[in-house]
Amino acid sequence: MLFAFLAIYLLTFLVLPVGTMILQGLTNNEGKFVADHIKLLLANPVYVESLLNSLGVAAGAAVLSAVAALPIAMVLWRYHVRPSVFIELCGFLPLFVPPFVLALSLQIFFGRGGALGMLFQSYCDLDPAILGLPSVMLIEAMHYFPLVLMTLTMTTSAYNQQAKEAASLGSGWFRLMTRVFLPLGMPGLAFGMSITFLKTLDDLATPLSLGVTNLLAPQAFLRVSAYGSQDPLSSLIATLMVVISGLAWFASIRFVRQHVAFRNASSVSASVLLSKQQMIVGITFLGGILMLYATAYAGVALTSIARIWSYTLLPESYVLSHYLTAIHSERGSFINTLAYCGFAAVLDVVVGLVMAYAIDCAPPVWKRWLTWGATGLLSVPGVALAIAYLQFFRGIEVPLINQAIDASWFLLPMAFSVRGLPFAIRACSITLQGIPASYVEAANISGRNRFRIFIKIVLPMMTVGLFVAFLLCFGLAAVDLSSAMLLIPSETNAPVSYSIYLNMQSTTGRGAGSALAILSIALVTLSLFTLLVLIRRDWKTVSSFRKFVFTGS
Amino acid sequence: MNRVTIEVRNLDFSYGAKPVLRNINLCIEAGELFAVLGPSGSGKTTLLRLLAGLERPSAGSIRINKTDVFDIPPAQRDVGMVFQNFSLWPHMSVFENVAFGVAEHHRNGTELEKRVDKILKMLDIAETRDFRPDCLSVGQQQRVALARALVSEPRLLLLDDPFSNLEYELRVQMRHDLYLLQRKLGITSILVTHDQEDALSIADRVAVVAHGTIQQVGTPAAIYDFPNSMEVARFVGVTNFLPGNVKHIESQLIEFFSHDIGHHRWPISRDAPSEGPSVLSIRPHALHIAPIDSFRDGRYLWLEGTIRSSEFLGEVVRYQIDIGSVSISVNQAHFTCSSVTPSGTPVLVGFDPSRSRLFPVSAEMSSVSVYD
């Protein structure tokens, strides 16, 4: 029965909508395959330019983030500095904070009205508006850089100290890096880069915040806004995005080995004493990165407490009223977020658990293909999925409430759940694999039925893992603006991320929008910290500063 | 408790196309402590899992008290099992772990509590009743695993290498305790182990398993003293193998010839191999060392050699002695202040032929080295 439910879910909310969307872009009104739409797309220089720009910006962001992360990871590895679990988790913050917040924060300083932007205009005659595409690329690279750094650090640290020391005996720095560090780090680097590529390609809010529209995602969005969901060109653009994402992901699979994704270095080897030199290196690099991001987000942080701030380096006076406004006026969006993301995350955990179980039980040959298929879901961009839903569910009425399904909020959590599914499957797989088979066999021999064994033995042992999966999916859904911007039927149904976006677009709402953004970031950090305590299950182990920042004491 | 017999007939098991167990035949008596001894990957744990019902055989039958249990699921076979890593559920207390197995049959809370407390007391872990497994020592964890297996009063106790995680002293202690407990309860028990000391010290009988087949079944002393193949001799204890040829002289004598040790004759035994290439197997402790010019006792056959090296092992000194082109191990008991004979010393090595074994060498085996 569970597998039937799984099949219905995947067919209804993934295979059929995406399939229909692809057909919509490739067929004419009579349902015959024609190349007319492709010709039309290629004949329009705006779309060709958007395609090239999207490829360039996504690839550029992935390469830039890798170029920035590699030397830092090398230094940390060379000096045996292993970040703590908390710092590693913070590396995953970019997945839970929308990049447009960083874009708007930097715009406050460097934009036309910003203090530094004015300085550039006055002294260098440089208009910040001309930095459209490069600024998108830079912001995406900066946003996803911690993710690349941490996946790289985690994969290279997932080998014990002795192995590292053995490798360093008799090897020079360059040889050590090229022969040991890079091959070890390749899976993490490939994973981080491919996630950066996919997320950048799919990002809708960041380019729109910066006024950039000559990219695929904004073009698809603009076409749906202008011509409606049945527009074949928007389907074709969305299909193009699915194809590019799919190719990028499957190209990276060769380098990303399945076991690497969420491996935690600190759990692999025992803690070691950190020397003074290691502490200095660690604090310099990790502290430097922290300072950089604190400065980058300072724009939003200061706006959230600024009464008046224009044409000056810092606000003239400060208030806390934006927070009160945000909490009062955006209560609805908080509730919406909790409802949509909570629903999507619960669904993800249930579906993810069933799929992880199915993959676990599958014969070895199937296992590999199923795992690839499950992670391949990552390559369905939010914009494409939203367009697919709008087309597939158009006009279908919900029986009891007599409302069209595409005019209700229902599609939004379903899109969130499909987008979060690969992460849920991975988290559930790791959790399932963590339960030794002999634990269940011991219970089998004791004479209990399957259901009681699941309830009394398996489920309690999976609690933390399932909670991690829930938080992961919840966080990912909370920042998924690409689907939300297309699927929200009205502003009253908006989640927090959309409200931040809307508020930040207007001068009067900027304070409240910034306050909302800061509150969201604080909530995400708190959730990560809760995760850390859950993983360690002991507050004392994280209460010392050294253990808080580094693995080791 | 019920005392049950186990009969395994023509049992086969394969993982896909890979055969793991082939033609296993066993008969285990009621109340017996039976050990299955074999190296890693020999199929001994698989045999235990088949008995528990955790795997289904490809062919053959398993009978418990003459009832075929082929289609009976693990829960209804009435067996208790101690897993190699104990597999105690980490989220449950000791009491909950032990009680889990009986709760289904005994819903009466007081009776359940009495039963669990009784077994905890019997295994000397009553004070750990409310602790979680991670708060216990390894020895205590093993006792909890044993309590969980025994609490439902199973007909058959299966032990999957239960001492492998223990330090030597604790291992000896736990082995002894298990032996006493098994004798007290009289429960038919099967111990699977790779450690010959565990098997030989407490089992009533031992089955040596290698390459998925049973090589020999017998009492520990019989297995050690009269291994029926080179495989068993090599796995159980340390043995010297000397390759040569066997010739029967009349009906009473056997002659063993080797380029390294020359011609030697001794009375023929019942299990002597037929004429042809053979291997002479002698345990290191069955060999004696004497000075080269000493009197040669007629009860022994004497070989001349030179000490190559020696290892001091505490109770014994193990010498490596070159005889011709072969090197053999000889154990000599060590006593306080006795000295170790230096390397390079020429010596006589004597052995009683009745304490040696001769194994035929097939054409297939003769192509591989027979030196241990």
Question: Is A442's CB within 8 Å of B79's CB?
Answer: no
CB count in 10 Å sphere of residue B95: 19
Condensed to tens digits (0 to 9), the pLDDT of residues B89-144 reads 888 899 999 988 775 555 567 888 888 999 999 898 999 999 999 889 988 999 99
Fold assignment, A35-324: MetI-like fold (1.10.3720)
Residue B157, classified by CB atoms within 10 Å of its CB into exposed (0-12), middle (13-18) or buried (19+), is buried
**CATH hierarchy code of domain A1-17+330-505:** 1.10.3720.10
List residues of B whose CB lies inside 8 A of any A CB: 52-54, 73-77, 79-81, 83-85, 87, 89-91, 100-101, 104-105, 148, 152
Per DSSP (E only), the strands in A112-162 are: none
B157: closest chain A residue by CA: A445
Angle made by CA atoms A502, A505, A507, in degrees to the nearest 5: 120
* Residue A434 Cα, gap to closest chain B Cα (Å): 12
Which of B50, B69, B89, B151 is most worth mutating to test chain A (most A CB atoms within 10 A of its CB)? B89
Portions of chain B given CATH number 2.40.50.140: 238-366
A441: closest chain B residue by CA: B54
* Residue A456 Cα, gap to closest chain B Cα (Å): 9
pLDDT at position A321 is 86
Name the CA dihedral angle for A348, A350, A353, A356, rounded to a multiple of 10 degrees: -60
- How many angstroms separate the CA atoms of B317 and B311, rounded? 6
Condensed to tens digits (0 to 9), the pLDDT of residues B141-186 reads 999 999 999 888 889 999 999 888 788 888 899 999 999 999 999 9
**Three-state SS for A164?**
helix
Question: Is B84's CB within 8 Å of A436's CB?
Answer: no
Per DSSP (E only), the strands in A258-330 are: 306-308, 317-318
Q: Which residues of B touch A450 (CB under 8 A)?
A: none
Portions of chain B given CATH number 3.40.50.300: 6-233
Residue B58, classified by CB atoms within 10 Å of its CB into exposed (0-12), middle (13-18) or buried (19+), is middle
pLDDT at position B107 is 59
CB count in 10 Å sphere of residue A248: 20
The tokens for A109 are: 């300083």
Chain CA centroid to CA A465, Å: 19
Give me the residues paired with residue B301 across strands: B351
Q: Which residues neighbour B366 within 8 Å (Cβ) at sequence distance 6 or greater?
A: B277
- How many angstroms separate the CA atoms of A127 and A112, rounded? 7
**Cβ–Cβ < 8 Å for A217, A207:** yes
Domain boundaries, chain A: 1-17+330-505, 35-324
Tallying the residues shown for chain B, one arrives at 372
Q: Which residue among A441, A447, A461 sits closest to B104, beta carbon to beta carbon?
A: A447
Residue with tokens 């044993």: B146
- The percent helix, strand, coil of chain B (3-state, each to 5) is 25, 35, 35
**Cβ–Cβ < 8 Å for A415, A381:** no
| Segments in chain A below pLDDT 50 | 258-272, 538-543, 545, 548, 552-553
The tokens for A209 are: 């915040």
Strands B262-267 and B301-312: unpaired
Question: Is B85's CB within 8 Å of A438's CB?
Answer: yes
Question: Is A438's CB within 8 Å of B89's CB?
Answer: no
Q: Which residues neighbour A178 within 8 Å (Cβ) at sequence distance 6 or greater?
A: none
Question: Is A441's CB within 8 Å of B83's CB?
Answer: yes
Among A97, A198, A195, which residue's Cα sits nearest to residue A500?
Answer: A97
B55: closest chain A residue by CA: A441
Strands B33-37 and B188-193: parallel
pLDDT above 60 for B50: yes
pLDDT at position A317 is 80
Which of A365, A440, A441, A446 is most worth mutating to test chain B (most B CB atoms within 10 A of its CB)? A446
- How many angstroms separate the CA atoms of A97 and A95, rounded? 6
**CATH hierarchy code of domain B6-233:** 3.40.50.300
Q: Which residue among A436, A439, A447 sits closest to B75, beta carbon to beta carbon?
A: A447
User: How far, in Å, are A324, A480, A509, B39, B71 from residue A515 at the CA level?
Assistant: 9, 19, 10, 66, 66
List residues of A whose CB lies inside 8 A of any B CB: 436, 438-439, 441-448, 456-457, 460-461
Q: Which residue among B81, B85, B90 sits closest to A445, beta carbon to beta carbon?
A: B81
* Residue A454 Cα, gap to closest chain B Cα (Å): 13
Q: Which residue among A438, A439, A448 sits closest to B104, beta carbon to beta carbon?
A: A448
Question: What letter represents residue B304's amino acid?
Answer: E
Q: Which residues of B touch A445 (CB under 8 A)?
A: 52-54, 74-75, 77, 79-81, 101
Question: Is B87's CB within 8 Å of A444's CB?
Answer: no
Report the b/e string of A416-442 with b at 16+ CB within 10 A. bbbbbbbbbbbbbbbbbeeeeebbbbb
Question: Is A444's CB within 8 Å of B54's CB?
Answer: yes
Q: In what order do the strands lie in the sheet with B287-291?
A: B287-291, B346-351, B301-312, B316-323, B326-333
pLDDT at position A135 is 87
B53: closest chain A residue by CA: A445
Condensed to tens digits (0 to 9), the pLDDT of residues B198-246 reads 999 999 999 999 999 999 999 999 999 999 888 899 889 889 999 899 8
pLDDT at position B104 is 59
Among A388, A378, A383, A390, which residue's Cα sits nearest to residue A418?
Answer: A378
Among A428, A422, A337, which residue's Cα sits nearest to residue A380?
Answer: A422
Q: Which residues of A touch B87 (CB under 8 A)?
A: 436, 438-439, 441-442
A363: closest chain B residue by CA: B16
* Residue A258 Cα, gap to closest chain B Cα (Å): 25
pLDDT at position A270 is 42
Angle made by CA atoms A467, A468, A472, in degrees to the nearest 5: 115
Which ipTM did the prediction report? Answer: 0.74
Q: Which residue among B73, B85, B91 sits closest to A436, beta carbon to beta carbon?
A: B85
Residue with tokens 């004979």: B341
Question: Is B152's CB within 8 Å of A447's CB?
Answer: yes
Q: Which residue among B74, B80, B83 sits closest to A438, beta carbon to beta carbon?
A: B83
- How many angstroms separate the CA atoms of A383 and A480, rounded? 10
* Residue A440 Cα, gap to closest chain B Cα (Å): 9
A446: closest chain B residue by CA: B101
Question: Is B85's CB within 8 Å of A461's CB?
Answer: no
pLDDT at position B168 is 87
**Cβ–Cβ < 8 Å for A496, A285:** no
Residue with tokens 């962001």: A61
Measured distance between the N- and C-terminal CA atoms of chain B, rounded to whole angstroms: 45
- How many angstroms separate the CA atoms of B203 and B183, rounded? 11
Question: Is A448's CB within 8 Å of B79's CB?
Answer: no
Q: Which residues neighbour B166 within 8 Å (Cβ) at sequence distance 6 or greater?
A: B138, B139, B142, B174
> For the packed helices A216-227 and A182-202, what is the interaxial angle rounded to 10 degrees?
20
Fold assignment, B238-366: OB fold (Dihydrolipoamide Acetyltransferase, E2P) (2.40.50)
Question: Is A446's CB within 8 Å of B75's CB?
Answer: yes
Host H or E run for residue B274 = none
pLDDT at position A86 is 67
- How many angstroms separate the CA atoms of A1 and A3, rounded? 5
A458: closest chain B residue by CA: B89
**Three-state SS for B8?**
strand
Q: Which residue among A438, A441, A460 sits closest to B91, beta carbon to beta carbon?
A: A460
Condensed to tens digits (0 to 9), the pLDDT of residues B304-353 reads 999 999 999 988 999 999 998 889 999 999 998 888 899 999 999 999 98
* Residue A458 Cα, gap to closest chain B Cα (Å): 9
Among A274, A281, A259, A279, which residue's Cα sits nearest to residue A155?
Answer: A259
Q: Which residues of A touch B76 (CB under 8 A)?
A: 447
